[in-house]
Homo-oligomer: A and B are copies of this chain.
Amino acid sequence: MTTITAVTAHDVRFPTSLSMDGSDAMNKDGDYSAAYVVVHTDDPDLKGYGFTFTIGRGNDLCVEAARQRGLPLIGRSVEEAVADLGGVYRDLASDSQLRWLGPEKGVVHLAMAAAMNAMWDLAARVAQKPLWRVLADMTPEQLVDVADLRYLSDALTRDEAIALLEAQAPTRAARIRDLEARGGYPCYTTSAGWLGYSDDKLRRLLQEAVDEGYRHVKLKVGASLDDDIRRLRIAREVIGWDANLMIDANQVWDVPEAIEWMGHLAEFRPLWIEEPTSPDDVLGHAAVRAAVAPIGVATGEHGMNRVLFKQMFQAEAIDFCQLDSARLASVNEIIAVYLMAAKFGVPVCPHAGGVGLCELVQHLSIFDYVCVSGSLENRVTEFVDHLHEHFTDPCIVENGHYTLPSLPGYSAQMHDASVAEYAFPDGGYWAGRAG
């Protein structure tokens, strides 16, 4: 028997604000950061790694919350825990005192994501498989047993969930072969379009994206209408009218303002407008969607929990679901969102970027295609080419596709040297700079 002996949480921050990487109309100066969790065991060769993602200040809050979330894991049998990750999840979620601070949202939920991501990574390492294959090897009943279906039964019952998964089960192997044959899961790039970049840099990066085989690119909008029009014109000049152009307002508009502003950008035929308003506003997104069609509405990177997504689906508020692998409470909650999306016919195009999110979402997208939706139609997963060098099993993107991960785990482990260098505030990089 192997036992969990400790759960440590680490404040790791990268100084991305210096280069304006990640700048948008709401978030001008983020330092991409991780509240990084390591689940230690009495086997020196077995640890689980996970994290949640933040953009700097307050990462310490998530670190401390993750440490507290991890306390009930200490002393557990690894074998029992990885065989019942639904039970582990429910145990951690049942802390009513921490629950009060959400419930199921904000810092304590981000911390839940970090802790459970590490447990899923641990489970995949025990199984000696990449996480996506762990999921692909689970039966429909096993998947539904680990999924958090609480508060969802008016939209999706347990029986419906099993039926959805059973319908795809016989053809799972064929879809894995299909992904291998096409070189992986399709992705798009946001690396070109940050708001802080000059027109020349924008043009150059867009051309590079086209040259690298991308058929989808995304630009940030919402700070200045004149700037948006000029930048979208540049984008169409470079990528043409057959490629897909997505735009992202990062929550800067009220609902009427979103509708009016999009009227001015419609000529550039965006595939979707992302985060047009408050991420909490289900009815607002539904109103925007009705007004801007056929432009799609996308949201989800700030989608706080499965209850929010349930309503987005019920209200027919979105065309694309952009769930976040470090904001939802790990695979347990994410499976539930994928199942609802499949029932309601909404494609899931996960949010990624930041630090490590690409490493996680590649597993989720593969799982969706193999086990849940069985479809690639209208599905494309975000990719941002930053900070992958800090991971021991970085995602590999070629010709606009995420190559299928092959190493055991959830691809969530950082190099020890990176954790040491960027530990905040005392690591090598920050010492003398922080504060």
Contacts and interface: CB of A to CB of B under 8 A. Distances in A.
A31 B100 CA distance: 11
A58 B97 contact: yes
A58 B54 contact: no
A56 interface: yes
A283 B315 contact: yes
Contact of A153 (B110, B256, B304): B256
A289 to B, nearest CB: 13
Interface stretch (A80-88, A201-209, A306-314, A330-338): A306-314
B26 A96 contact: yes
Number of copies: 2
B153 A30 contact: no
Interface in A270-294: 277-284, 287
A105 interface: yes
Interface in A212-258: 251, 254-257
Interface string A96-117: 1111111111111110000000
Contacts of A415: none
B107 A108 contact: yes
A384 to B, nearest CB: 16
How many of chain A's residues touch chain B, expressed as a range?
35 or more
Contact of A106 (B108, B254, B278): B108
A107 B256 contact: no
- The SS class assigned to the A binding surface is loop
Contacts of A98: 57-58
Interface string A305-333: 10110110011000000000000000000
A68 B64 contact: no
Interface in A11-58: 26-31, 54-58
A126 interface: no
A64 B57 CA distance: 12
Nearest to A259: B154
A86 B97 CA distance: 32
A135 interface: no
A100 B58 contact: yes
A92 to B, nearest CB: 12
A34 B315 CA distance: 37
B277 A151 contact: yes
B153 A254 contact: yes
Contact of A307 (B30, B102, B154, B278): B278
A95 interface: yes
Contacts of A68: 57-58
B58 A154 contact: no
Contact of A151 (B55, B101, B278): B278
B99 A26 contact: yes
Interface of A: 26-31, 54-58, 60-62, 64-65, 68, 95-110, 150-154, 251, 254-257, 277-284, 287, 302, 304-305, 307-308, 310-311, 314-315
Closest 10 CB pairs of A and B: A106-B106, A107-B107, A57-B97, A154-B255, A56-B97, A151-B278, A280-B307, A153-B254, A55-B100, A27-B96
7 contacts: A26-B96, A26-B99, A27-B97, A55-B97, A58-B98, A61-B101, A106-B109
